[in-house]
Amino acid sequence: MKLKLFMMLILVISSVSASSLMVSNAYVRATPPGVPNSAAFMMLMNNSTEDISVVAAASSVAKTLELHTHDMTNGVMRMYQVEKIDVKKNGHTMLQPGGFHIMFFGLKKPLVDGQNVDLELTLSNGKKIKLDVPVKKVMSGMNMNHGQK
C-alpha cells in the first residue's frame, strides 16, 4: 500500500513539474528605509511543449506588483510595464536588471537582507506558482524609484 501511494505521489509530482513553469535563483532586492519600491529577478524555465507566460504577480509585502522590462531608445534606457512575460516551450526567460523583472510598488516596510517574502506568479494557463523568495542586498546601477503607485 505504501509503495502504491509513493508511486502515485511520484507520478503527480512528475506531471506537475512537466506541465508548469519552473523557477530558479529568485531573489528580491533589499531596500534602505524610506525606499518604497523594489524588484524581483529569477530564471523561468518551461520544459513543457507549449508556450507559457507570466501574466500577473502578487505579494503581501507591497501594494502593487507589475511586470516590467527595459529598452534603449535614442541612447536612453526606458523602463515600462508589460502585460506578460513569455517563456517559450522548452525554453527559458531570465528576469534580470536591465531586462524583464517584477516591480514591487508601495512596500509596506523595508525589505531586509536575509528575510524571505511571499511571491505568487499567475500563468497564462491559469496555474499559480507560490514562492518564498529571499531578499538580497545587491549593488545596482539601476534606479528603482519609479515613483509612488
Per-residue model confidence as pLDDT tens digits over 59-95: 999 999 999 998 888 888 888 999 999 999 999 999 9
119 in any annotated domain: yes
Q: Is the pLDDT confidence value at 149 over 60?
A: no
CA–CA–CA angle 19, 23, 26 (5° rounding): 165
Supply the pLDDT for residue 100. Answer: 97
Task: Give the C-alpha separation, 49 to 125, whole Å.
Answer: 13
- What local confidence, expressed as pLDDT, does residue 129 receive? 94
Range of 75's domain?
Answer: 21-136
**Residue 122 included in any domain:** yes
CATH number, residue 55: 2.60.40.1890
Q: Is the pLDDT of residue 34 over 70?
A: yes
